[in-house]
Every structure is written in C-alpha cells, then in structure tokens.
Amino acid sequence: MPSALRALVVDDHPMFRYGLSATLDAATGIEVVGEAAGGAAAVALAAALAPDVVVMDLNMPDLDGVEATRRIVSGDRHVGVLVLTMFDDDEFVFAAMRAGARGYLLKAARPQQVVRAVRAVGDGEAIFSPSIAARLLTYFDPGGRSRQEAFPELTSREREVLRLVAEGGGNGQIARTLVLSPKTVRNHVSNIIRKLHVADRNEAISKARQAGLAAETGQVGTQVPWPRDTAGRDHGNTEVDHQGGAPR
C-alpha cells in the first residue's frame, strides 16, 4: 500500500485552516502533517517536516505566500506548492508560478476539487482553477497575446516603461518620451518592481533584458542642443533617435 501524501496547510484564518485540514485528513491517501498561520512559519515547517504538498494562502501578515513559496521550493524542489487563495488577478497567478507553485486554486472551489488538486500537485502535475486555466491558454497560445507580451502581469503602460528603463532611460527622459510626469513614471517603476517581485530597478532591468524586452546596449535617446542663432540664443533641446538620427 503506497504511503499517504503528506500535506502542510498554510493560512492565517484559523477557521478556514482547521476546516481545510479536516477535509484533507478525511480524504483517502492524504495526511496533514502540520499547519502554519503565516509564511515564515510555513518555511520553517516545510524544512522540518518535508511535506509532499504545501497548500499555501497568499495574503498573510508576516511573509506573503509568494515569497514563502519561493523559499520552500528553493529549499526542496520536490515539494509541490498549491496556492489556495481569493485572488484571481493575473499579477498574483504569474508571481506564484514564477516562485515555483505547481497549482493555483481559488477558495471558491469545492472541497473535492481541493482534494483532487492536492493529489494532482503531489503527483507532479500542474492544476489551475478553470477560469485561470482559460486565461493561461490565451497567454500561451501561439496566436494569443503572450507571444507579443513579456510579463503579462504588467499593464501595457508598465511594459512600455520597463522597456525604456531597460534601454537605459532615466525617469525624466522616460517622462518626456511618454509625455508623462516624472512622478507618474516613478509610480510605474515602483509598481513594476512590486509586481515582478524584484529587489530594485537593476533587477527589473536584468529581468527585462533576459526576457528580450529590450536590448542590453539599447538607449532611449541622447539630449543634444539646438543650434544657436547669430544672437547666441538657445532654442531649446531635442532628442535624437539613434536608429534614424532624426530629431523627435
């Protein structure tokens, strides 16, 4: 008889956590070996208990589920993480996948759906809520938008800002290029760093270049002075496009 699938349940809401643990314990072939109310405790328990599957909430006070997933998976690649959350935003789905999660299920799922998902993740399969699976198929369809769009969790404007950042543009230069205020550009950069779960601007640039969003040696443009007239007056500055050399 095969050994039971060892599960660790992580959620900061006690009633939900207890109910989920009871549901999994009652299922044939699944044993709940531990519970955690936060991400930091989940990382510690995963290292101590070596579960086969971690059922992970995302929104927790001490350490969010995405970072907890990343730490657990980096410590043991054999652990399968099933995200069970209320959030169906693409931002969270792709962040969890990048962190190493094998499955992503919404808390609206029925108990038996959760049990099946835990078993699937324990068997090394990937499983997602139907609505999320449909969106993923659209993203990764050769005719879909993912072939044209790196970082689908970003808005089109955020991808544009990231591309210009990766091409060497500063906030002021990007603001002029996109006809935005420098403050708006700074806000976009902050959102990009948060959504990509990177430490800083340099790490975001590295990710963008690795994804082919921008050439490593590219530049947004160079500020050059307008010619002065005979009276010595300066008519302002413009930018030169490096590809065509024309002012813009």
Domain extents in the chain: 5-139, 149-218
d(CA 20, CA 55) in angstroms, rounded, equals 9
- Decide: 221 and 242 in contact? Cβ < 8 Å: yes
Q: What is the pLDDT of residue 138?
A: 66
Q: Which CATH code is given to the segment(s) 149-218? A: 1.10.10.10
d(CA 64, CA 60) in angstroms, rounded, equals 5
d(CA 37, CA 80) in angstroms, rounded, equals 19
Q: What is the pLDDT of residue 1?
A: 54
Instruction: Give residue-wise pLDDT tens across range 124-151.
Output: 999 998 878 877 776 666 555 444 466 8
| Residue 129 token pair | 């809520």
**pLDDT grade for 191, boundaries at 50, 70 and 90:** very high
pTM: 0.61
| Topology of the domain covering 5-139 | Rossmann fold (3.40.50)
| Residue 60 token pair | 């927790």
> Reduced to 3 states, what is the DSSP secondary structure of residue 143?
coil
Of residues 76 and 213, more confidence is placed in: 76
Q: Please, what is the average pLDDT of the chain?
A: 83
Instruction: Give residue-wise pLDDT tens across range 217-238.
Output: 444 433 333 334 444 444 433 3
Of residues 141 and 188, more confidence is placed in: 188
Instruction: Give residue-wise pLDDT tens across range 91-103.
Output: 888 889 989 999 9
Is the confidence at residue 35, as pLDDT, over 90? yes
Average of per-residue pLDDT across 74-94: 91
Instruction: Give residue-wise pLDDT tens across range 148-183.
Output: 466 878 888 888 899 899 988 899 999 988 888 999
Q: What is the pLDDT of residue 124?
A: 93
Q: How many CB atoms lie within 10 A of CB 231?
A: 5
Average of per-residue pLDDT across 6-11: 98
**% of the chain with per-residue pLDDT over 90:** 56
